A and B are shown apart, each in its own frame.
Chain A
Amino acid sequence: MTTPGEPRRNLLYLLPVLVFAGLAGFLYQGLYLHPSEIPSPLIGKPAPAFDLPAVEGLPGGLSRADLEGKVSLVSVFASWCGPCRLEHPLLMALAEKKRLPIYGISYKDRPEDSRGWLQSLGNPYDKIGADRDGRVGFDWGVYGVPETYLIDRQGNVAFKVVGPLTPEVLESQVLPLAARLMK
């Protein structure tokens, strides 16, 4: 007993299956997203203006002018930040290669703690600015340390890594992009 309406109805029965498959696909993809990584609105825009004093007892200081005219990394760190310890050897190794200047922003840290940290773990930074109250960090959209920013020649933010740098992210994303920007 076949009626002309039947093939269409069969398709209709398939609809819930299709909807389920679509939803499952979306949710499956969702498993691999990182909700803690908030896309920065600063990407492609000029790095915020700032002028930070040096960490007491250390030379330097860091300002927006330091970031112009070259490709550089800006690393926001703090001695009280556990994951910063994790990425520190990577920054040390990178500093040794001298491929690009690495600037540090000491975020909400006591100067004596910052100094102790750099003395015991080594200092990979070409220049360091002290952001005691986190105000500059706020302008940069810092919400969790460590954070690393890749700055292009014009002083624009080209890339941002939230959380500790890993060799994978550094080798596969940050450095290739830096090389392209340097051309």
Chain B
Amino acid sequence: MTKLFLRLRRPALGLLTAAMLGLCGLVGAAAPAGAMVIDPSLPDPAAEARAIELSKGLRCLVCQNQSIEDSNAELARDLRRIVRERIAAGDDNETVKAYLVARYGDWVLLKPPFKGLTLILWLAPVALLTGALALAGTVYRRRPEAVAPVPLSPDEQARVASLTHDPAASGPTKS
């Protein structure tokens, strides 16, 4: 049996989850009432806001493309707790990040840092775009001047005239 961990920070979500749990109960699912763990939040609202902001930029390592703020995984819950611990201990944002990076590597940051190894990652899009623009520029510049439209032959002019019923254009004209 897997334990069910729920974060009930957002009241609406909490209500919904409660309703869903209730439904499960009604249906008679054999799941035992799981341990509901509510994240303790920091008493200082500004610090709590910082914790949430930081958590949004930290990767949940088991779910990989979710932030720890969004994930219900147990590890994400642990990491949220540790982020709050560090903030309560007086760390600034960079120090908290460094604390996690020392253990899990840069991978824990959803936004990769700008450094030697990640230079390609950051610069490739810019390089590709400038390359493509330069290429397009040279290709279009080298294209021969647009050829002036060939004047219509008398036959064609007559046909145009007959189709448009324009008396002025009827009759052969010099070209």
Give A residues with C-beta under 8 Å from B.
5, 12, 15, 35-36, 38-42, 108, 134, 138-141, 143-144
Residues of A within 8 A of B82 (CB): 138
Partner of A140, one of B64, B75, B103: B103
The answer to whether B104 and A141 have CB atoms under 8 Å apart is yes
Give B residues with C-beta under 8 Å from A.
61-62, 64, 74-75, 78-79, 82, 101-107, 135, 139, 142
- Taking A138-B79, A141-B105, A143-B62 as given, write out 19 further A-B residue pairs in contact, using a Cβ cutoff of 8 Å, ordered by the A residue number: A5-B142, A12-B139, A15-B135, A36-B64, A38-B61, A38-B105, A38-B107, A39-B105, A39-B107, A41-B106, A42-B103, A108-B74, A138-B78, A138-B82, A140-B103, A141-B103, A141-B104, A143-B61, A144-B62
**CA of A36 to CA of B64, assembled, Å:** 8
The answer to whether B61 and A41 have CB atoms under 8 Å apart is no
Main secondary structure of the interface of B (DSSP, over half): helix
The answer to whether B64 and A41 have CB atoms under 8 Å apart is no
Main secondary structure of the interface of A (DSSP, over half): loop
- Counting chain B CB atoms within 10 Å of each CB, the highest count among A35, A42, A140, A141 belongs to A141
Q: How many cross-chain pairs have Cβ atoms below 8 Å apart between A and B?
A: 37
Partner of B105, one of A15, A41, A108: A41
- With both chains docked as a complex, state the minimum distance between the C-beta of A42 and any C-beta of chain B, in angstroms: 8
- With both chains docked as a complex, state the minimum distance between the C-beta of A41 and any C-beta of chain B, in angstroms: 4
**CA of A140 to CA of B82, assembled, Å:** 14
**CA of A5 to CA of B135, assembled, Å:** 16
Residues of B within 8 A of A38 (CB): 61, 104-105, 107
**CA of A116 to CA of B135, assembled, Å:** 68
Closest residue of chain A to B107, judged by CB?
A38
